Amino acid sequence: MSRDKKDIFGRWFICTVLVAVVLTVLAGVVNVIADPYFHYHKPVIKYRLNDERYINDGIARNFDYDAVIIGNSLFQNFKTSRYDDLMGTKSIKLPYSGAGIRELWQALGRVVGRDELSVDLISYDPKDGAKNIGGYAPHRGYNDSVREVMICTDTEDVLRSYSWHRYSDYPTYLYDDDMLDDVNYIFNKDAFYRGSVYNIGITMLGKDSTTFDDYSSWVRDSGWEIACSGLDKMTVLDHDSDRQLSEGDKERIYYNIYTNMIPVIEANPEIRFILLIPPVSLAKWAEYYSQGELTYVFEGMEYMMSLLTEYDNVEIYGFDDAYEITGDLNRYCDKMHYDAGVSEWLLEEISKGDHRIDRDNYMEYTNSLKAYYMNYDFTILNEYISD
């Protein structure tokens, strides 16, 4: 290659690199200013709410609110406008599809603050031996004005391990205040194209921002055949061989509650924590029945309530005894997920104080469920279950 050609190539290469650097820096500047995930400031332009695990922490950091609705996909159809009308609040909705107890309460701990563990928890694992549980640093919280939280408390999630979580790849760089790892956000092409550019576009077109009512909400096909899909044909079973709640199971529930929930509850005695046990469908209870786990679920639920009802700032609302809802599979798109009309009804019932569970009636509640489902003829579902 001649010297002239080398000089031309060198200049072209340097110019290309400089242009790429300038464009990358400009894109980063746009991301900081538009801030589609609200990591640095309140929204300054119109915005779209999506990508729950990317945007929720920013909402909690920088929006104005005094109440929080937080849960898994069972909470996606709640409307903050209706909640605010009933409760007299200004709320945000933080849905985390597929989240368990650990993820939800860690997210909530970032919002309102959490303490260190108030008790020493030692796990005796057959493989690892004795192991300390804890190590969670206290967190001050983003918002000192929160006075009310409604959070999903799915019994099945409480029965799991304290460390259970569905996903392993979280955008943790959005959950801390470390400026160094913000490069993952500032120079993120998805945040730029799907966030900043999109938000600038809808602003220029005069479109509205996503409301919390619409955020992550859905409408799906429902019905008896759909809700029963995945079930095997029901047969008549006795409960003599049902799984019982063992001491190990109780230890697991205790660790789950005291590792994930109690540090947040104890750190915020002025906040009203509404723990909503959602109404899972008759098809889900049929699944527990066929697996021989009805007794285990009822006893686990009862033990959970015995622990949580000891806290004065905790209100538990249980809806598994709303048989007119749980038994109408036209309201369900699968074994767990109910339609938006049920979500609104749940808010109305809570606002009236109905279906509240406390230390005086929690055993009455679980005994009612036992009497109903332990004697239910689940074979009536067979006409909706495929061979």
CATH number of residue 274's parent domain: 3.40.50
Q: Is residue 5 in a domain?
A: no
Residue 19 resides in a domain: no
d(CA 122, CA 132): 5
- When pLDDT is averaged across residues 26-45 and rounded to a whole number, the result is 91
| Domain coverage including residue 350 | 64-176+212-384
| 121 has a pLDDT exceeding 80 | no
The pLDDT confidence band at residue 338, using thresholds 50, 70 and 90, is very high
* 124 bridge partner residues: 130
Reported as a pLDDT band with limits 50, 70 and 90, residue 118 is confident
**Predicted pLDDT at 117:** 79
Domain count, the chain: 1
Q: How far apart are CA 89 and CA 9, in angstroms?
A: 64
Matching residue, tokens 């005894």: 321
Residue 75 has a pLDDT of: 97
Distance between CA atoms of residues 129 and 78, nearest Å:
43
Q: What is the dihedral of CA 198, 200, 204, 206, to 10 degrees?
A: 70
Which residues are CB-neighbours of 180 under 8 A, at least 6 positions away?
Answer: none
* Residue 88 in tokens: 């007299």
User: 278 is written with which tokens?
Assistant: 């959602």
pLDDT confidence of residue 4: 58
Q: Which residues contact 293 (CB under 8 A, 6 or more apart)?
A: 242, 243
* Whether the Cβ atoms of residue 280 and residue 335 lie closer than 8 Å to each other: yes
Candidate from 9-13, 256-260, 367-371 with smallest mean pLDDT: 9-13
Q: What is the pLDDT of residue 122?
A: 61
More confident residue, 300 or 29: 300
User: pLDDT of 79-113, one tens digit each?
Assistant: 999 999 999 999 999 999 999 999 999 999 999 99
Q: Are 270 and 321 in contact (CB under 8 A)?
A: no
Query: Considering the domain boundaries, does residue 99 fall inside one?
Result: yes
The per-residue pLDDT for 28 is 79
Three-state DSSP at 64 gives: coil
Other C-beta atoms lying within 10 Å of the C-beta of residue 2: 7
Residue 41 belongs to some domain of the structure: no
What tokens were used for 306? 């015995």
pLDDT of residue 190: 92
Percent of the chain with pLDDT over 90: 79
- 207 domain residue, yes or no: no
Beta bridge partners of 93: 69
Report the pLDDT value the prediction gives residue 6, as an integer from 0 to 100: 58
What is the mean predicted confidence (pLDDT) over 192-202? 94
Q: Which of 174, 191, 216 lies closest to 60, judged by CA? A: 174
Kind plus residue range of the DSSP H or E element containing 67 = strand 67-71
Q: Of 21-30, 58-67, 309-318, which gets the smallest average pLDDT?
A: 21-30
Alpha helices in the chain (DSSP H): 3-34, 52-62, 80-87, 101-112, 155-158, 183-186, 189-190, 198-204, 224-227, 247-256, 262-267, 282-290, 294-308, 323-326, 340-352, 362-373
Name the pLDDT band for 277 (thresholds 50, 70, 90).
very high
Q: Kindly tell me if the per-residue pLDDT of 312 is higher than 60.
A: yes
Q: Mean pLDDT over all residues of the chain?
A: 91
Instruction: Express each pLDDT in 139-194 by its tens digit.
Output: 899 999 999 999 999 999 999 998 898 888 899 999 998 888 999 999 999 999 99
CA–chain centroid gap for 310, Å, is 24
Let me know if residue 58 belongs to a domain: no
Please check the confidence at residue 290 and state whether its pLDDT lies above 70. yes
In a domain, 203, yes or no: no
Q: Which residue has the tokens 């509205």?
A: 208
Q: Answer for the pair 362, 309: CB distance below 8 angstroms, yes or no.
A: yes
Q: What whole-number distance in Å separates Cα of residue 225 and Cα of residue 334?
A: 9
Q: What is the pLDDT of residue 375?
A: 94
CA 103 – CA 256 distance, rounded (Å):
12
Query: Is a pLDDT exceeding 60 seen at residue 127?
Result: no
Q: Are 166 and 98 in contact (CB under 8 A)?
A: yes
383 pLDDT higher than 60:
yes
Instruction: Calculate the alpha carbon distances from 97 to 73, 74, 80, 152, 182 in Å.
Output: 4, 8, 17, 11, 24
Q: What share of the chain has pLDDT > 70, as a percent?
A: 89
Asked if residue 130 has pLDDT above 60, the reply is no
Largest Cα separation within the chain, whole Å, is 92
Report CA dihedral (46, 199, 111, 89) to the nearest 10 degrees: 30
pLDDT in tens, 205-241: 999 999 999 999 999 999 999 999 989 999 998 888 8
In 10 A of CB 16, how many CB atoms?
10
Answer yes or no: is 199 within a domain: no
